[in-house]
Amino acid sequence: MTLGEKIKRLRTEKGITQETLAEEVNVSRSAIAKWETNSGVPEVSNLIMISRIFNVSVDELVDDTKVIDKTDVKAEKKSDCSEYAGNFYDIELNGWNDGVEDVLIINEDENFLFYQKPLKRENVFGLIGKKYITSLKASKPSDIVQKDIKVIGKNYFCSKHVLVELAVKEGFIKGFFDFRNDDYQDVVIQSFTDSKVLLKFGKEIDISTISKIEELEVMA
């Protein structure tokens, strides 16, 4: 089985498009198409990223004598979020954790609620740890058609510069002893596992401790 065949099989089993995989690896969609048809070969850094996204070894990818059987790669859950259509929302979190205001809710999975925040230059995407949400209220009407909204999952944030906020630990007196400031102001996410977020240069974060991830706005 060729490298291209393996990449295509892994991608389709995970239920993502070439465009989505391209965003995760930070390359063009045409590059993915070339790799899958064996018209091009990924660089080593891209092979490493692909191996982490699909939870296989680089050796399994590049060795043509090794066949990748049907894997247990889980497709990212995508919800139509129709119950949230037609409105922007304010999301409040418990304790000292920062919520968000006037966002569109675009997807959800077991752990996170995904949102789109319209800014002057471009839309910014983020996610909220569902276990920390205390209030979710419509803030104002939205005339954006739901089918025109980009639906993302957590792997959208791979290879992007993001802010990662960790949930505040509550102490004996809520709101006084529970403050901490060890968020990650500008980091690059390498990949996600079921329980961890792997950052560039080897740092790991427990998914259960994350209250918010938001991509950083690209300044013109």
How confident is the model at residue 127, as a pLDDT?
96
Rounded CA separation 149/106 (Å): 7
Q: Could you tell me the residue ranges of all domains in the chain?
A: 3-62, 82-215
For residue 173, the model assigns a pLDDT of 42
- Tell me how far apart the terminal alpha carbons of the chain are, to the nearest angstrom: 44
Looking at per-residue confidence, does 100 or 98 come out higher?
100
Q: What is the mean pLDDT of the chain?
A: 82
Cα 209 vs. chain centroid, distance in angstroms? 15
- Above 70 in pLDDT, residue 69? no
- Split at pLDDT 50, 70, 90, the class of 74 is low
Kindly tell me if the per-residue pLDDT of 33 is higher than 90: yes
Q: What is the pLDDT of residue 134?
A: 92
Query: According to the model, what pLDDT value does residue 90 have?
Result: 96
Side chain identity at residue 33, one-letter code: A
Distances from the Cα of 170 to the Cα of 96, 99, 173, 177, angstroms: 9, 17, 8, 7
Single out the residue of 204, 167, 207, 161 nearest to residue 183, CA to CA.
167
Considering the entire predicted model, what is its pTM?
A: 0.64
Domain 3-62, CATH 3.40.50.300 — does that match?
no
Among 210, 120, 80, smallest CA distance to 157 is for: 210
Asked if residue 207 has pLDDT above 80, the reply is: yes
Tokens of 159: 């290879």
pLDDT of res. 200: 83
Of 3-7, 117-121, 133-137, the least confident: 117-121
Q: Which of 12-26, 41-55, 181-195 has the lowest mean pLDDT?
A: 181-195
Contact 40, 27 (CB under 8 A): no
Q: How high is the pLDDT of residue 178?
A: 46
pLDDT, tens digit, 9 for 90 and up, residues 139-190: 999 887 666 677 888 888 988 899 999 887 554 344 444 444 556 888 998 8
- From 71, 69, 6, 14, select the one nearest 37 (Cα to Cα): 6
Closest CA to 73 of 16, 112, 1, 34: 16
- Cβ atoms within 10 A of the Cβ of 151, count? 17
Going by pLDDT thresholds of 50, 70 and 90, the confidence category of residue 133 is: very high
Q: Are 101 and 139 in contact (CB under 8 A)?
A: yes
Report the relative pairing of strands 210-215 and 87-93 from DSSP bridges: unpaired
C-alpha span between 72 and 52 (Å, rounded) = 14
Sign of CA dihedral 195, 197, 202, 204: negative
* pLDDT (average), residues 99-108: 92
Asked if the model's pLDDT at residue 217 lies above 70, the reply is yes
Q: Show the tokens assigned to 105.
A: 């809710």
